[in-house]
Amino acid sequence: MPRPIKATIHVANMTHNLERARACAPGSKAWAVVKANAYGHGLERAIRAFSGADGLALIEPDYAVRLRELGWAKPILLLEGWFDADDLQAMAQHGIEGTAHCAEQIAMLEAAQLPGKINVHLKMNTGMNRLGFMPEDFAKAYQRLRAIPSVGDIVLMTHFANADEAAHECLPIGEQIRRFGVGAAGLPGLHSLSNSAGVLQMPALAGQLASDWIRPGIMLYGGTPGGKPAEEFGLKPAMTLSSEIIGVQELKAGDFVGYGSRFQADGAMRVGAVACGYADGYPRHAPTGTPVLVDGVRTRTIGRVSMDMLMVDLGPVPHAGVGSKVVLWGEGMPVDEVAAAAGTIGYELMCAVAPRVRVVEG
């Protein structure tokens, strides 16, 4: 029999979240971002959940080919483009689109002898300073691409750094939009601007974020990139990590809990051992006080997370015992709240669920 821990994937909620993204951007086509094995939810499930998307976007060339093998016939986009000449051959063979963000990629494309055309998304660096051509170099990169016989359509794209805070003091979204407008001036092609944060801002910034394509990612899985809780945007959790209490200890004042004796009881208390640890993907650095549900009641973790177990305070749940149900994150316990308590983000928690955790649908 398996351990009690399991990750339940809510496929219907993933579909719901895509519909919420579309509602924020009426008239725009949507790339559903499925990188990192659909943020830990599985490519096969993503294909079913996002069947209504106009395309799927990811960064792994081998996974892009896998999507074709799984039967996805609509567009596929590689968000970081191609890494070598072999990638270009596979892209042309399987009808996969790619992002060009540097001169070296364009040179590879110029030298390639491809069996067909590929669509290219030309990326502009508008201030995030990870990938992309500077606005003043963008038109030149566009002209190089346009001169390559194997290049089909060219889409103009950028990526927002702080769209969850429209008026961010360092780099407001309006400044990135301005830079994009300057760099793309006069160039034909559809525009692809908004990630999840941008999509969620669209209703509030009507007209300013007009985009032919949107690229929702984390919001499809029930998380947000920052700001308001996901439920306030009408999003639903796509993954619930749950387990059970497998042991109970009765402590007296002064007793310690866990490795390093990081937690000390200040009075009599009951604590429960949960079958979930850092080898399952739960963050080891999650401190005492990280929220958790036991039999539907909110309580807290205590002490240091170990490889296979973590400890919870059963004070708020006096009826709890061995076999009591525990929700680490998901339905009833927002992943973003757990992540914030642990000093990380919901993306990391969902992507980090370990292979030994049983995955089911529900």
d(CA 67, CA 56): 9
Token pair, residue 136, equals 């003043």
Active-site residue flag, 259: yes
Q: Output the six-digit token pair for 299.
A: 């309580």
> Which of these is catalytic: 74, 142, 221, 259?
259
85-94 helix and 61-69 helix, angle to the nearest 10 degrees: 20
Strand 76-78 versus strand 55-58 pairing type: parallel
Query: Which residue among the candidates 29, 35, 74, 117 is catalytic per the annotation?
Result: 35
Tell me which residue of 345, 328, 292 sits closest to 8, measured CA to CA: 328
- The pair phi, psi for residue 173, each rounded to 5°, is -60, -35
Rounded to 5°, the CA angle 194-199-202 comes to 105
Token pair in block for residue 231: 């439920």
CA 166 to each of CA 89, 110, 173, 200, 228: distance values in angstroms, whole numbers, following the listed order: 40, 38, 5, 11, 13
Torsion angles phi and psi, residue 274, rounded to 5: -105, 135
Q: Do the Cβ atoms of 293 and 331 come closer than 8 Å?
A: no
Q: Which residues are catalytic?
A: 35, 259
